[in-house]
Structure 1
């Protein structure tokens, strides 16, 4: 089972960007693709924001990024779905499924840096990422029940994965907002930091992931995806094919050489190939 890898790796320091007026600003900082949502007033999820997010992830892959940082350039990460767009078009749900698929199948790690309000579809967007870092003052929740819905874009499933069935039911059915520390304790969030540290911590994690063995990371994401969707046995069966490119990679060879030369792990410099 082959894993699709980033294309056209670029040299460190290369920067490409789009206009800050776009709903999603995108730029490369070294090997990190930074996607910054700027869809006023509150990054509401509908076609206007979801389409550029899908395009941004594909752009990151096609331009050889080795990690993605998803963040907001506004006060809030996302205040949820664009209810007018949701009511007007059933296609929004199709876009939501496409968005989840693109995030899930992207062969590079995705870090979400969450600030302010992150509720409803905004939380679902964060949950689609591999690692979530939140500011201490952030407020998060699956609030769809307050308008007669349940989460439409995967929150129930992903909260179950991260926090267990009981917490997923609690969050989806009560529709409350929670503080970041509580959700970190429940396993929904990977890390909570002071508000002033969010940008630096999120970028540092993305850079660390981008500097790692990209082919091995792709196999890790694929194995987790198969385990969750098909079970441990299916992942065990897929493992040899998924791991074959790792043993053929330049990163593996350089990692072994560095270990032999220095007598300890963690000294190799990986190139993502």
Structure 2
């Protein structure tokens, strides 16, 4: 069996073992979110040996030449030495400047990094609280917000959300590498209808994208749809409605699961030029996407990030 090494630790694994699972099962904390090669949270560097990689297109040629791989997409086929991200050595310090509840289950976390961070709306970061890590999408807008903002779904217990509940102003966290997901705003969409469909805290990154679109004075109609567990979980309803009050081209729709089948059935495209951005749980994103495809939306005009339910 091939041997897996991280620092001074070494152990044997069956041929074909998933690299991400092999690391996490042996106490090497490698965060992940999508397990599809999209979020890049599970990036590791192979310093000796190489795994079998099912997504060689997910990283640049330069990254691959340096040994970087997405652990979720790799199988161990030979002896392998791996450098996993060490938050204490490799992480960027950030100070907690606000922790507050936007609803009974959504915790808003605001951080200021020790050194400025350049990012775009819709990107995500891995947050480290001690040795517990979780990737989260940014809800803040660069250039306008002096802080980094994250919306944490604390409905289910989890290692990071449990730690986040205990955070206080002045506490320190560590930031992993900044990664770009599928979500962003493109100036070429300026006059096209823009649909932003979110479930739960999938609204966070789309809130940043929306604000970026408004900052760039998007001229097409913008339709924001938020699916929440219940009416009380539409945690950004007031700021969204305030934006819509001053923007004639912006409409806000707040849905709950009992309404979902009926409202999905009524979705109609006003233009085949519509650009749709989706974010949330796999089931929600799948339901949104299937309806949009049935309504005639071209597949290359739909961008999606999926949140897996891990605390």
TM-score by length of 1: 0.26
More strand per residue: 1 or 2?
2
* Greater radius of gyration (CA): 2
Higher helix share: 1
What TM-score do you get using the length of structure 2 for normalisation? 0.24
